[in-house]
Structure 1
Amino acid sequence: MSIRIEQAISPRQIRAFIRFRHKLYQGDPNYIPELNWSERNFLGPRNPFFRHSRAAYFLAYNGKQMAGRVAAIYNTMHLERYQDRTGFFGFFDAVDDQAVCDALLHAAGKWLASLGLTRIMGPENFTTNHAVGILTAGFEQPPVVQMPYNRPYYEPLLNNNGMTEQMELHAYRFEQVDLPADFMKRAQTIEARLKRHNIRIRPVNFSHFGEEMEQLRQVYNAANEGHWGFVPLTVAEFRFLANDLRKIVQKENVLLAEKDGQLIGYMVTVPDVNQILRKIPEGRLFPFGWAKLLAKPQINGARLLILGVLPAFRRMGIDWCFYARTSRFFTEAGIKWTEAGYVMGNNLMMNRIIRNIGGKPAKTYKVFARRI
């Protein structure tokens, strides 16, 4: 039976686009449903990404049965920065059928080609600041918050479509959060030395959230300059993401390093709310709310979301201080394990550091591309 492609435009079609994953992964013990309202906001005009860029959503049908989905993404800021005529595909999900995969990526590529682009890369859910890649190793564990999950057949589907690997990304798991005594002692010595140079580590001040987030955005963009595929976040985009995370973090989850009052580094961790979301049928939060859900002592894991230090202040041990403070906080908060990701495969130093402090390889993700 031939595969029919339909562009998702109407509210009904967008609803089908969002909910397809629930049907595809029904019964999968490792599947965590995204909240429908959250994904609807992310895909729609409320997302500041659409102030400068655009996307088209496609559905694949095999007869009357929906068989897949994909987004074609035209990222203006990426194109201005890299001048590589590359568009992206994201939110890719499909049954194990090469014809479905090929039809979806053909539709996405055709839409991007109509805008003058010559290459398609992904999966990338709008930018590298969001979910990136497909899972290629580590299927035995459920994903942590805001990390991708898919079945093993996705990689051969993309390879057979002519896609080639562009980047490998890793996630590491720490089965315990209390770091060794010698590490904690050394971190204490480092922090004392940093103070003598007017560098201090502190948690975020939620009373001045707007100002704190704008400083963090600037340092985040500067610290990631030169990283593979990175596109700086605008003020509105960063605030959009920060406001979402604000609902689930405590001040100790956001650690900042300052030199003479100016932000120079950061580390952000988040509780693994996926442990709660997996119990919500088909991504429907109502009649529950975040406050009621997070009040329940159900979360014993966390994710190290982002860590960065301005180049001039690296190799001073600021990251050691972040790890030590987070270790103490997690121990007091009842967090038993944590996962750190993403770490790019070509970031040899960070991969080595995480292994040296006890991180064990947990999951691998890959990004693919081909000519249109």
Structure 2
Amino acid sequence: MQLIEVKNRSEELAFLDVARELYKNDPEWVCPLDTDIEAVFNPEKNTYYQHGEATRWILKNSSGKLIGRVAAFINEKKANYNNKRIGGIGFFESINDETASKMLLDAAIGWLKERKVTTVDGPINFGENDQYWGLLVEGFTQPSYGMAYNHPYYKQLLESYGFQKKMEQITNEFTLENGLSPRFVKIAEYVMQRRPNLEIREFKPALIDGFAEDFMNIYNSAWAEFENFTPIKKEYVIETFRKIKPIVDPGLVQFAYVDGEPAAFVMCLPDVNQIFKKFNGKLNLWNKLRFVWLKKTKYITRVRVVVMGSKPKFQNMGLESVLTYCCFKHTITNTNVNEIELSWVGDFNEKMLAIHRGLGAKPSKKHITYRLELN
């Protein structure tokens, strides 16, 4: 077997092709867009390179066939925490062979050790956790856009190497066939009626700067007490909003304001993977035209709730329920969507899981973020 660190354009393309090779017979897999994966490793497009670094490897067998890949990265803003120095691995793919997977993991771990890392998390993304995060261990059905998908045997490969579960990421789902839960609707409408100082605003792409500022303030306040949290910057939010602009439905991104103060938000995205499955990762001109046409025909029938949050002082007001209600009311009225995916929520986030239960959602997928202690 030949392990190659990615250094040139040919090797960058091979890194993308590894997944196409390993999943070519898997009917559930959706090839991520090449442009999305390449953006993760492009310092001009990924702001994490301002305070971190990353590298990649591909693995070939003796015949030159692609059989694996892996990436390693370190984010200096989050690396040093609680007497640990934390790095990450991600984009791990391998044939079902412990020798092959060990070669890949050894390379990534070795690179991180050179940077004095003592703790390795994976598989994770070199960016925020809304995409390509965690190992799928339950629910091997077609993934929604940005959600990690992998072969079932990866669990054994990582655990046999020594990785242990750090946290579970729960995804639940429900359908809109019978409308929203009456109890949930009653709670949301009650909150709106008794709070005249509450204002709900739909995201407007033309006002991206102001909404990015509000998103940043709410997000940084909502997640401040979580382990190893680093505040996001406005430029990252603007970059994210611009990235999703071609696929976003403004009615599925809602903000709540209390006495004019940004208080909470919810961001849902149409599951464009239902269209991207046809593209095999290639977003050329023809596929862009196909995407625009298919999106207009209401081809998409699933929505993914990507992220929601509220400032701590507003967290007992039921704002998340109100925002979710507004999004799904828009969905029922204006789209052909029937399936709602609520992804992913850490097993430590009981408040958000309670909202899922209130909606009548049922378990659909589970991912695991693993951790390897090197000392």
Report what 1:119 is aligned to: 119
Paired amino acid for 2:10: R
Report what 2:88 is aligned to: 88
Residues 61-140 of structure 1: pairs in structure 2 closer than 5 A: 61-63=60-62, 64-80=64-80, 84-129=84-129, 130-139=131-140
**1: CA distance, partners of 2:356 / 2:138:** 18
Q: 1:283 deviation in Å? A: 3.2
**2: CA distance, partners of 1:362 / 1:292:** 30
* 1:54 aligned counterpart, secondary structure: strand
Report what 1:351 is aligned to: 353
Paired amino acid for 2:4: E
**Contact in 1 for aligned 2:33/2:280 (Cα 8 Å):** no
**1: CA distance, partners of 2:213 / 2:292:** 26
Q: 1:204 deviation in Å? A: 1.5
* 1:283 aligned counterpart, secondary structure: coil
**1: CA distance, partners of 2:152 / 2:231:** 32
Is residue 295 from structure 1 mapped to residue 293 from structure 2 by the alignment? Answer: no
Q: CA RMSD in A?
A: 1.7
Report what 1:168 is aligned to: 168
Q: 1:81 deviation in Å? A: 5.3
**1: CA distance, partners of 2:228 / 2:144:** 23
**Contact in 1 for aligned 2:345/2:352 (Cα 8 Å):** yes
* 2:125 aligned counterpart, secondary structure: coil
**Contact in 2 for aligned 1:128/1:230 (Cα 8 Å):** no
**Contact in 2 for aligned 1:81/1:231 (Cα 8 Å):** no
* 2:133 aligned counterpart, secondary structure: coil
**2: CA distance, partners of 1:358 / 1:48:** 38
CA change 1:214–1:291 in 2 (3 A) is: farther
Is residue 213 from structure 1 mapped to residue 215 from structure 2 by the alignment? Answer: no
Paired amino acid for 1:361: P
Q: 2:34 aligns with which of 33, 36, 49?
A: 36
**1: CA distance, partners of 2:94 / 2:120:** 18
Q: TM-score with structure 1 length normalisation?
A: 0.94
Q: 1:232 deviation in Å? A: 2.6
Q: 1:229 deviation in Å? A: 4.8
Q: 1:205 deviation in Å? A: 2.6
Q: 1:4 deviation in Å? A: 2.3
Q: 1:16 aligns with which of 14, 17, 21?
A: 14
CA change 1:181–1:227 in 2 (3 A) is: same
User: Gapped runs of 5+ residues in structure 1?
Assistant: none
CA change 1:81–1:371 in 2 (3 A) is: closer
* 2:195 aligned counterpart, secondary structure: helix
Q: 1:226 deviation in Å? A: 2.1
Paired amino acid for 2:193: A
**Contact in 1 for aligned 2:21/2:66 (Cα 8 Å):** no
**Contact in 1 for aligned 2:184/2:358 (Cα 8 Å):** no
Residues 231-242 of structure 1: pairs in structure 2 closer than 5 A: 231-242=230-241
* 1:279 aligned counterpart, secondary structure: coil
Paired amino acid for 1:346: F
Q: 1:284 deviation in Å? A: 4.1
**Contact in 1 for aligned 2:94/2:100 (Cα 8 Å):** yes
**2: CA distance, partners of 1:167 / 1:209:** 33
Deviations 1:90-142 (A, max 9, x none): 11111111111111111011111111112211100114433211000011x21
Paired amino acid for 2:79: L
**Contact in 1 for aligned 2:181/2:358 (Cα 8 Å):** no
Deviations 1:252-282 (A, max 9, x none): 1110011222211000100000100111134
User: Gapped runs of 5+ residues in structure 2?
Assistant: none
**Contact in 1 for aligned 2:40/2:126 (Cα 8 Å):** no
Is residue 26 from structure 1 mapped to residue 24 from structure 2 by the alignment? Answer: yes
Is residue 257 from structure 1 mapped to residue 256 from structure 2 by the alignment? Answer: yes
Which one is further off, 306-315 or 222-231?
222-231
Deviations 1:173-214 (A, max 9, x none): 11226213443233222112122xx22112113221112112
**Contact in 2 for aligned 1:19/1:36 (Cα 8 Å):** no
Report what 1:304 is aligned to: 305
Which one is further off, 319-328 or 142-151?
319-328
Paired amino acid for 2:93: D
Paired amino acid for 1:14: E
**1: CA distance, partners of 2:281 / 2:328:** 34
**1: CA distance, partners of 2:227 / 2:361:** 23
Deviations 1:289-345 (A, max 9, x none): 153342232101100111101110112111221122122111111210110111111
Which one is further off, 241-250 or 78-87?
78-87
Report what 2:344 is aligned to: 342
Q: Give the 4+ runs in structure 1 shifted more than 6 A.
A: none
Report what 1:366 is aligned to: 368
Paired amino acid for 2:56: Y
Report what 1:224 is aligned to: 223
Q: 1:38 deviation in Å? A: 2.4
Which one is further off, 258-267 or 225-234?
225-234
* 2:199 aligned counterpart, secondary structure: strand
Paired amino acid for 2:112: L
Q: TM-score with structure 2 length normalisation?
A: 0.93
